[in-house]
Every structure is written in C-alpha cells, then in structure tokens.
Structure 1
Amino acid sequence: MSSPSFLQLLVVSLAIAGGIVGVCNGGKYSRDDFPTNFIFGSGTSAYQVEGAAMEDGRTPSIWDTFTHAGGAGGATGDIACDHYHKYKEDVQLMANIGLEAYRFSISWSRLIPNGRGPVSPKGLQFYNSLINELLSHGIQPHVALFNFDLPQALEDKYGGWIRRKIVKDFTVYADVCFREFGDRVQYWSTVNEPNVYALGGYDAGDTPPQRCSPPFGKVNCTRGNSSTEPYLAAHHILLAHASAVRLYREKYQEKQRGFIGLCIYAFLYIPLTDSKEDALATQRANDFLIGWFLDPLVFGEYPRIMKENAGSRIPRFTKAESKIVKGAFDFIGVNHYMAMHVGDNSSNMALEHRDYLADSATTPVDTKRLMSLEVFITPWTLEGVLKYLKEVYGNPPIFIYENGQRMLHNSSLEDTPRVKYMEAYIEGLLNALRSGSDTRGYFTWSFLDAFELLDGYKSSYGLHYVDMEDPEMKRYPKLSAHWYSDFLKGKTVGSGSKGLVSVTPKLVSFQ
C-alpha cells in the first residue's frame, strides 16, 4: 500500500477542520488596533469564479481538462459563479462590505489563448474592466499570475512545468500583464501555492495536470514520474518566478512603483510526541513544505536535508541561477488554514524508490488511525507560522492571502463557525504583529462560494452564498460578511465565546 499523498492529507485535514473551531482568549479589538496602512481584503481565483470557460476566445487550461475528465467529483468551472459577467455586481458587494483590497488571479488562457502568441482583445478588456471597477470603488487589486490553470496548449506542446521552456513562456505572459495592467496594479504574486501544485499535480496526480507514477500516485497513473517530477516542476516554477521578478524590476518597478512576490501554502507543523525524533521530523516537514521555496528565495539554495534525501532527483541551481533566485521577492504570500501533527518515519529512507513524502521521512497523518487524528483549527497556528517565518527567514514582508473556514455548501446564511474562525484568527494575527511580525495584509478565503479544487461545490468558504440553481446566480451575504463589514468599518469585535476551546501545544524550537 502506498503512503498517503499530500493532497489526500489535505482532504482529511480540511474535512476535520470543517467541524473544529478554536478561539483566542476572547480579547476585544478593532480595525483601529492595526496599522493604518495594513490591508484587509478577500480573494478568489479565475477558474473558481469566472465561468465563461468557452467565451470570447478563452481556451481550455489544465484545470478545465482535469474537471471534464471527472476531477473534483465531476463538477466543473464552466459557469462557476459567472463572475465574468457579474463582476460589477460583485465589486459593488465588495464595496458594501468595505473591503480594502481584492485578490484575484488572471486566466492565462483567457488573456493569451494559445499560452504564447497573440493577446486576446476580449480577455484584455475583461481584466482592464475589472481592475478599473475595483479602483473606482477604492478597492486595491492584488493579482496572482498563475493558480493551477496552465493553458492546455502548453501542456500538450511540451509538458508544461516539467520542461524548461516554460520559463520563457511564463516570463512573456508576465510581461503582458505588467505592461497592460501594471499602471494600476501594485501587488503581484507570480505563482499561488507552488508547493501544493507540484505535489498534487506531479506526485499524487490528484490535481491538474494529473501526472504521477505507481506506487505513489493514483491507481490509474498513466504518465509522469512521482519520484522526480515534483522537484522538476518546482525548480522551473522558481526559475520562472525569478525571471518574472527580474523583468519587473528592470523594466517596470521604478515607474509603476509596485511589489512582487510568491505565495506558498503553510501548515503549522507540531511534533506528534515530545521525542527528539518527532522534533527533527517536524523541522524536516517545514523544510520540505516551506523551505522548498523560501530557502532558494532567501538563501539561494534548497534546504540541506532536501538535497541529501532526494539526491540527484532534485535539480541544483547553477551559481548564476542561485544569484537570480536569491532575493527575488518583495514580499511572501502565505495561505494558511490549520496545524498538523508530524511524526518521524525515518524507515522510509530505506526504500529503494521514494517520492517527496518518503524523502521527507515524516508521517503527517497515520492513515491507520484517522479516527484519532488531531488537526487543530486554532488561531495560534497562524501566529506560529508567522513566528517561524520571522525567526528562520529574517522577518520578510508577508501578505496572508488565504485564511478561511470550510463549511458545507448550503443556503444557510448563519455561518457562525466561520465568524468565530475569522474573529479568532484576526486576533491571532494582531498578536503576531505586536510580537514584531512584518505582516502587511490579511485576505479571507473566499469572497464568494466558489468552485473548490478538492470537491467542486460540495464545500464552501465564501462570505457570500451563491445560488447555483438560480439562473441569475444571485448572491446573498452571510453572517460572516456582515461581521467582516462591521470590523472593517470600526466596530469592536472579539466575543470571548464560551464553549469553544483553544488547545496550544508545546511548539518545537525554530532554531
């Protein structure tokens, strides 16, 4: 039996997270307790909300291919929330809440239908109109260039991210975005959750582009190599990111006065026991998840343990590449939802054939004891991640681009668990700021009930319910939208609710 994939672990974690909510100490706070230049917003991504998948010249992305082949339970983003046609209404809803910023991604295949070559006038018009609509309501646009949706044309042509050709194509695509939108967009993130994308798409094979190999990935793996391709895809993502950053800095940044970074997914890993072995395993887990991308950006090289355990299967940076990658960020985006316990599994190193999870020599989840799995959804987890980034990576500027509470998608607007989650995590964020974290923004996931990567429309994170059965796809603000609006408009919050328990374990040293 193969070990569980990272995405399987994530599914389990999110499923458990849906029923657990933690709070801080119930302290009162308000928007005024945060710096005046701190940004509060919410976010979505192109495939998850836009719809209009086959309109105005847009061509399929690998996410379209994935869903039409039965991924995400057979649901698709063909229509999604129809944000493509309803963006003005949605921006008005943002203004009603009082959002200070909105993060969205650009669909590469909507803007450049073949992945390279001519720009689509209609795609260009849509994103210009969206950006202008946001600015007209005083809402700051934050843009991600890539969120799991590589043009299928590039995947078919040369294999996408597993080929070095992608670096040039991504840089040209980024150049179009900087040139066309950079006069109004000040915050760019190149790739969203590259650690999740590389593992799900190239090791487990349960997310686009569904590449994997037995025994590590899905049973029906038909192409790919789980032992090498996650590392290869991640390497090319880092090179493409660094290339786009260098282009932006040399050609646009001085005039446009913007900022550019990369956005990672981060658990707070906690040792399963007090043993030295589990403490070391926790550090390995951090190196493999966070250090995989941040070590090259901050130090110019992959973590030592990754190079040792993966050996020749993980590419090496040349001296010239290391110089380009190191320092290639103005900020780091962080997507965080929960903590996860980590146990040592050094026996994996004896395996002749290994993938990423085996290389990490850890057990984030013991699949034989799922009923006893503990995944805490508590606000100190965000504090812990921010403390880790401050102590290990020199306190870089941070934007929390995703943080939210998963619930079943239904028409109830009384999403009290989500309110409690936001209330607690924003307080945890405030604690981190007071401890010196250089965090500069917080974005809830998500603004609308969107198509979700793991289960389509079965679950939701939205501040707004979207009635998928209504031909007009009417939006309804939930209790969480009203709470967030009250907070953004200056109301003091922090309920100190009884009956909700926060459990804070002893954390492993970050040194």
Structure 2
Amino acid sequence: MYQSLLLLLLHLILFFLPFFTKEVLCIHKFTRNDFPLDFVFGAGTSSYQYEGAVAEDGRTPSIWDTFAHEGRAPGKSTADIAADGYHKYKEDVNFMSDVGLEAYRFSISWSRILPNGRGAVNPKGLEYYRSVVNEIFERGIKIHVSLHHLDLPQIIHDEYGGWLSPRIVDDFKEYADLCFREFGEKVSHWTTIVEPNVYAMAGYDFGLIAPGRCSYPFGLTNCTAGDSTTEPYIALHNMLIAHAEVVKLYRTKYQGNQNGKIGINFYSFWCYPYSNSSANIEAVQRVFDFQFGWVLNPVVFGDYPEIMKKICGSKLPNFTTSQKKLLKGSFDFIGLNYYTSAFVIDNSNILSMFPRDYNLDMAAKISASRNDTASGAFVPTHPQIDPTGLQNMLDYLKHSYGDPPIYVEENGYNMGANSIALNDSERIDFLRQHIGATLEAVRNGVNVKGYFVWSFVDVFEFLTGYQTNCGLYHVDFNDDLRPRTPKLSAHWYSNFLKNNSEAFSIERTDLQNLLYFSQ
C-alpha cells in the first residue's frame, strides 16, 4: 500500500523549513550476508491495489470499489483492472523468483472469497488464492498474508456499518478462520489488519479513503455521512478487538500444527521536535502515543495510552477487563510501515478545530482534527528521505514496547508517473539507505526480522491513483495487457539478494548530532 500518511502530510503541508546545518558524511557498506540468517527480504502488494478483476468469478464490491466509482478516488480513477494481478500472478511470481525475493507479502480480498461477507464460500475465489499460494510456495518464497488491507466488503458496511459495529468481530473471525483453514499450511506469517491507525483517521475522520466518512469541520473532503469526533475511535476499537479474537482463534486452533506467526501492522513516521523546547519535546511523545501507541499499547500492555484516555475522555471507548486480557500480548510480531519523518510543533493550547476560514494550510487542520490538537502541528522534513528516522523508530519500539519481533512491512519510494519509469536511481538510493538503517538497528540489538519493499509491481495507489508509482517493476497502465518491465531498482535488488553485491548508505549528520537532514 502506498505511503498513506506520508502523502497526506506532503499534500497538506503547513510550510517548508529552511533548516541548514554543518554536516559530516558517514558511508556504511554492507551486503546481504551482514544480516542474520533468519532475516528475510521481500516486497509486497495488496488485493484491491493489484488484482483488478473486481467483478469477475463471484467477487462482490468492497468499500474501495464503491468509493472509487463514486469518483472520490485520486484522479477519479478506479482499480477495476489495476495491475491485473488476478490474471498475471503467475508471470509476477516468475519475476519474484528472478529477483530472488525471499518473501512476498500480499492481502486477500474478503469479498472475493466470502461475497456476502459471511456464509457461502466462493469456490473460484478460493481457487485463485490457492493457486497464488502454491505458485509462491513452490519457489521457496516465504508467504506473508494480510487478512485485511482497507478493502472491507461493501455488503458488511451497508448492513451494519462495518467497523463501526461490534458485530464485525464475529464476521472477521469467520473470514479469518476460512483463510487459516484453506491456506495456513503454507503461510508463514499472518497480519490481521494493515494500518488500522490510518484506516481510522483517513477513512472515518478526514474522509480521504474508503469508506470516506467525516463531518464538518474536521473532514478534508465533502463527506455525506460520518462523525469525525467519535467514529475514528469506535472503528479502531472494534479493529483491535477483532484482531485479538482472531489471534486467539489462530493460536488455539491452527498455530500448533501450521507453525506460522501472527501479528498486526501500523503506520508511523518518525518525529523531531521543531525546537528543543520542552513543550515541543513533550508534543513529540504525544504524537507517538496518538499515532501508533493507539494501536501498540493495547496489544502490548492491554489498554490505550494514558494520555489518550485523559485527553479524549468519553470519546475513547473502554475495554472490558476480559478484552484487556485478550489484547495483551496478542501478537507474535509487529509490522511497521515507514516512509518519512516530520517536525512537530506543540499546539496543545488549541482545544478545538481551526475554523475553515483560518488562514492556515490543511496540515494545521489535520493536527487540530485528530486527537483534539493534542499532538501538535506536523511539518514534513524536506526532502522526505530520512533513513535515520527509520532507525530511530526501530530503536524506540525496542525500548518502549519490550523488544518485540518487528518486520518492516512497507518501505518504498514514490516517483511521479511522468518520471523516467525504468531509470529509477533515486529509488535505489532510497532503498539502500533504508536497508542500511535497518541493519544499523539490527546491530544495535533491535529484533528486526525482515524488510519489505513497497511495491513489487506498480499498483493503484490509495492516495494518488496512477499518478505515481512505487514498483520495482513498471506496469504500463495504458496498455490493456498491463505488460511488466523491470526497473533499474529491480536489477539492483536482485544483485543485492542473489549475488550478495555490496551496497552502501550515506548518513548525513550535523556536527551537533541534532538530526538527519538532507539538503
């Protein structure tokens, strides 16, 4: 999936910061063999963004089909065909083998295998995913499956509001049970829900992604329904409970025989205080608590961060005692999506949303919207490449959350659709710097177990449609056959993985050791 909050921040930027420091350059050389033997390198896609075939072989619409066909997706585009992975997956698996992928991460379309959201199973949907799993497994590539990647069946949303109702917990369990039973023998890692924090904010607060719900003055689009003050908290609350129930199901019914792992994913960006004032430093911690502590604290410690409970009050649902017990420790690994970093300015003195006619950019409105302005205003770093932020994030997770096993499940570089499609040397620079940062975290004792490039082939991006690309393989979306061509980055990644070629990353650090900031 594309860089959800990254683009949200970049498109809704408050202002750019002319920040200059004296710096020294540190060059780090490394190879694939510098990583532990059990560390895996892979790449990923997701069902709606990759498969296409949205009305073929019994699949029913997801909330993203509806959202796109209402003209609300970027460029009024749809993923009706997307990269046509439904028909071209065998070709793509051959490319995965050519590159030397050690693992591949993809998601299953809930509405493709359970067209009614529950009950009757679609045999053609099962056949498709069995074939995908078998093709990958036969090539010795580890299979990482996400159960839910933003594409909830529309029929469930229509019936009872989807993630806004606790009824979804049983339906999600039924769907997960089917996936575990049918594919679990060959799946090594299951991620229950991808980016629940982004899902809750962008889908139920800002209205930027499906199901596109929000309310004035918080929404950033013209939503026809929603309540930004309560629904994001309710939706994520139900996601967490559903996650915990599915983990319990997997552990009690399948894990002993299948020997897989199960976890949850979240999106994050690293944050630096805009200045070294105590207020800005405290604001950074609030951002962390609201940004990903919202997800991680419940699954690690059994409840929301105390600052969230204090600031949000009754808007934040409560977990029962049994739910806290169920949530605590409900993961074998944590999945991290990281793309960039941001500066944070404290604005905790503002207790309500900026009025729409306030002369500030939308970034200020974002900071004021979610979490009642407690977190602070975001100012993206410029440019957006900050591998040190990834290393910092991994170190922070180790020390704040009990050293969990971590997979960097998404990290990649967006390039404009008008860029030279195959000569993506900028992407290579991005990847090797972030892989180098991941290695530094490993050497610092962080329990990082894998790194996945987003994305393997060009796909429909949730916030930009076909206006940008992130793939290692170029897809010609103007050709009905959707031909693939390896980019320079695919060749680089292949040499790194298969030939143990030497890579290097360049770290820019100012002489006072303040922060990474590329000029």
CA deviation after TM superposition for structure 1 residue 8, in Å: 3.4
Q: What corresponds to 1:363 in structure 2?
A: 377
Q: How big is each residue's C-alpha offset from its partner over 1:50-107, in whole Å with a ceiling of 9 and x where there is no partner?
A: 0101100001000111111112221111000111001100000000000001000000
Q: What corresponds to 1:229 in structure 2?
A: 231
Residue identity opposite 1:465 in structure 2? H
SS across alignment from 2:445: coil
- Separation of aligned partners in 1, 2:220 and 2:136: 41
CA deviation after TM superposition for structure 1 residue 378, in Å: 2.0
State how 1:379-398 maps to structure 2 within 5 Å: 379-398=387-406
- Separation of aligned partners in 2, 1:116 and 1:427: 44
Q: What corresponds to 2:491 in structure 1?
A: 482
CA deviation after TM superposition for structure 1 residue 379, in Å: 1.3
Structure 1 spans left out of the alignment, 5+ residues: 17-21
CA deviation after TM superposition for structure 1 residue 290, in Å: 1.1
1:413 aligns with 2:422: yes
Q: 2:451 aligns with which of 442, 453, 467?
A: 442
- Separation of aligned partners in 2, 1:301 and 1:327: 11
State how 1:245-284 maps to structure 2 within 5 Å: 245-284=247-286
TM-align CA RMSD: 2.3
Q: What corresponds to 1:64 in structure 2?
A: 65
Q: Is the 8 A contact 1:341 1:375 kept in 2?
A: no
Residue identity opposite 2:106 in structure 1? F
- Separation of aligned partners in 2, 1:280 and 1:294: 19
Residue identity opposite 1:337 in structure 2? Y
Q: 2:319 aligns with which of 317, 320, 323?
A: 317
Moved more, 57-66 or 22-31: 22-31
Q: Is the 8 A contact 2:433 2:505 kept in 1?
A: no
Q: Is the 8 A contact 1:60 1:151 kept in 2?
A: yes
SS across alignment from 1:338: strand
Q: How big is each residue's C-alpha offset from its partner over 1:125-176, in whole Å with a ceiling of 9 and x where there is no partner?
A: 0000000000111111100000110000000000000100011110110000
350 and 72 in structure 1: CA distance in 2 versus 1, 3 angstrom threshold: closer
Residue identity opposite 2:271 in structure 1? Y
CA deviation after TM superposition for structure 1 residue 352, in Å: 11
SS across alignment from 2:477: coil
Q: How big is each residue's C-alpha offset from its partner over 1:452-493, in whole Å with a ceiling of 9 and x where there is no partner?
A: 000100001100000112232110000000000000013332
Q: Is the 8 A contact 2:58 2:122 kept in 1?
A: yes
Q: What corresponds to 1:78 in structure 2?
A: 80
Residue identity opposite 1:237 in structure 2? M
Aligned length, in residue pairs: 490
State how 1:183-202 maps to structure 2 within 5 Å: 183-202=185-204
CA deviation after TM superposition for structure 1 residue 246, in Å: 0.4
Question: TM-score when scaled to structure 2?
Answer: 0.90
Q: What corresponds to 2:435 in structure 1?
A: 426
351 and 99 in structure 1: CA distance in 2 versus 1, 3 angstrom threshold: closer
Q: Is the 8 A contact 1:51 1:82 kept in 2?
A: yes
Q: Is the 8 A contact 2:352 2:372 kept in 1?
A: no
SS across alignment from 1:364: strand
Structure 2 spans left out of the alignment, 5+ residues: 17-22, 356-367
Q: Is the 8 A contact 2:428 2:489 kept in 1?
A: yes
- Separation of aligned partners in 1, 2:223 and 2:93: 42
State how 1:39-50 maps to structure 2 within 5 Å: 39-50=40-51
339 and 505 in structure 1: CA distance in 2 versus 1, 3 angstrom threshold: farther
Q: What corresponds to 2:386 in structure 1?
A: 378
SS across alignment from 1:266: strand
1:181 aligns with 2:183: yes
Q: How big is each residue's C-alpha offset from its partner over 1:413-446, in whole Å with a ceiling of 9 and x where there is no partner?
A: 1100000011111111110000000010100000
Q: What corresponds to 1:400 in structure 2?
A: 408
1:53 aligns with 2:54: yes
Question: TM-score when scaled to structure 1?
Answer: 0.92
- Separation of aligned partners in 1, 2:134 and 2:374: 45
Moved more, 486-495 or 384-393: 486-495
358 and 374 in structure 1: CA distance in 2 versus 1, 3 angstrom threshold: farther
Q: Is the 8 A contact 1:7 1:196 kept in 2?
A: no
- Separation of aligned partners in 2, 1:194 and 1:277: 28
Identity %: 50
CA deviation after TM superposition for structure 1 residue 28, in Å: 1.4
CA deviation after TM superposition for structure 1 residue 375, in Å: 5.5
Residue identity opposite 2:242 in structure 1? A
- Separation of aligned partners in 2, 1:483 and 1:409: 21
Moved more, 467-476 or 315-324: 467-476
Q: Is the 8 A contact 1:269 1:282 kept in 2?
A: yes
- Separation of aligned partners in 2, 1:145 and 1:23: 44
CA deviation after TM superposition for structure 1 residue 327, in Å: 0.5
Moved more, 216-225 or 314-323: 216-225
SS across alignment from 2:335: strand
- Separation of aligned partners in 1, 2:24 and 2:321: 47
- Separation of aligned partners in 2, 1:467 and 1:86: 13
Residue identity opposite 2:377 in structure 1? T
- Separation of aligned partners in 2, 1:349 and 1:265: 25
Residue identity opposite 1:387 in structure 2? D
Residue identity opposite 1:59 in structure 2? T
Q: What corresponds to 2:136 in structure 1?
A: 134
SS across alignment from 2:233: helix
- Separation of aligned partners in 2, 1:285 and 1:310: 14
Q: 2:301 aligns with which of 299, 304, 314?
A: 299
Residue identity opposite 1:288 in structure 2? F
Q: What corresponds to 1:19 in structure 2?
A: none
- Separation of aligned partners in 2, 1:502 and 1:104: 36
- Separation of aligned partners in 1, 2:305 and 2:289: 6
- Separation of aligned partners in 2, 1:456 and 1:355: 25
Residue identity opposite 1:94 in structure 2? M
1:165 aligns with 2:158: no
478 and 318 in structure 1: CA distance in 2 versus 1, 3 angstrom threshold: same
Moved more, 134-143 or 89-98: 134-143
Q: What corresponds to 2:460 in structure 1?
A: 451
Q: How big is each residue's C-alpha offset from its partner over 1:379-435, in whole Å with a ceiling of 9 and x where there is no partner?
A: 111101101100100110001110001101245311000000111111111100000
